[in-house]
Chains A and B, each alone.
Chain A
């Protein structure tokens, strides 16, 4: 009996992997772009690669309302059905935003798992610190904890004035 159950579990896992492998990822990416368009966000990538288990975008330019806001070296979107992760490397914010957000963000990781389906975890690292937090899909809130230097707090006053001191970290909460 256990042998049969294990066999079906193996078939399920194999099926999940095959679904991801044959998933038309580039077309799904186009669908996502069309959806983002309604929020005035457009992405332009120099290279889009379907790597069987992930979709890689290189030299991505992010525009909001026809204005370039940042450039990203590499984005890797991986999904294994039970979890999905987006890894973004080397984000360079446009010059006009450098007083609001760090000019260069080394890495951002967005992670979602079916084990905790109502939350999306966020992690970011940049020159003057790091940030981590989560998106609560039930309460529609984004909570970010910043572990940053005083220089950061001083330099990006326009956003840091909204931070609240929470023990070791500064917390930023946004309700959407």
Chain B
């Protein structure tokens, strides 16, 4: 299987290098975005700023830098049942460069993420080629990540994980009003992959609650495949509709489907409205259980709700306003407010804050609100 995967990767790379006849591509726009983000749901509040600045250097190079902060305050269902509420901060710094030559764009990026008990470094390389008279763009990418995991209540704990991403993308002009994009990504992880704080519960007749906890144990390897198909269509009165579908599967037994549809509507000269619906559903990992029958019931154990069977639905709206301001080197500005409301419904993860016979507690569910407020400058 691994040989087959390598085969098509090298095949696509060779094809990309052989293909010619492409017209000139373009570099991304020079722009700066300052974003304030806020997530509030399930007892978790995460907020902070993000700054993304991109600038071209001459006609063939564009560089960018990103600074991102998550300030976390958590009293989630996991924390309430097995630990104490906590606060933490995660800072992410990133930088990248794009080099354009004829119809080929080479991209190199580095990202560092730092929080008190988790550090991650990721290096990415992508090559993109326009072909068939600029109607088709093929992209190949690879990323490698190295993570260092600690544990705040155990200074002696130290673990590592490595991650490798392989990406292939194809974007295609279908007609003068329609675009399609197909993306495939395989990700392989190796090392310490579970959360060092989380526990699983098992039936324990000696416990007053009827159950006890023991640490999670995940496999040390994880490989996933995802394929996403996107379509976007331009409507005759200057508006656009889009749709997106992602199919996902991995070696832990998780199968997931994601659907998203949206509509963009420019209004008057200065406004842009967007409405979207997103549906996500997944089947649980093979080693997930809300309640194991006994201690060490199997070699791998998880009661992480992100690995359970659940679905979520979200409704989002974005309003963007361009006041027509331009001065000095600033060519355009925009102010954007975006809101998403998400409903999570778990099918085999129970709410242990409600006392009941073990295994018959009500199923857990919660809603979350996601706010983004940002200003964008083009220069």
Q: Do A and B bind?
A: no
CB within 8 Å of A: which residues of B?
none
CB within 8 Å of B: which residues of A?
none
